[in-house]
Structure 1
């Protein structure tokens, strides 16, 4: 299981493994989360992979 991200980046050098900025860059940030202003934030509307609006 990958490490859970911190709520806020500690801005240290070198970056720790739980840093949300590092996890975003590496693509290991959990689905439904993003980073804004060095803080971990949850995305409100997470599009589901199974439903598609283009399918008619």
Structure 2
């Protein structure tokens, strides 16, 4: 049973954008698409095409990375 490099590599976490770019096709990091797919980090939601926290605090990249 040999171990391969692919088995050791962990899957990268994709962080959502803070605001939807409003493209019709929707990019892979779109918060609206991630919400629909259930890939949005815990405690986050989307209101008016913008990523917001459920508790009302400000969304920062540092907090977002920690949550994901």
TM-score by length of 2: 0.62
Q: RMSD between aligned alpha carbons?
A: 1.4
Structure with the largest fraction of helix: 2
Aligned residues: 45
**Superposed structure 1 runs of 4+ greater than 4 Å apart:** none
TM-score by length of 1: 0.74
In the alignment, structure 2 segments of 5+ residues that lack a partner are 1-11, 57-68
Ranges in structure 1 where 5+ consecutive residues have no aligned partner: 46-56
Q: Which structure has the bigger radius of gyration?
A: 2
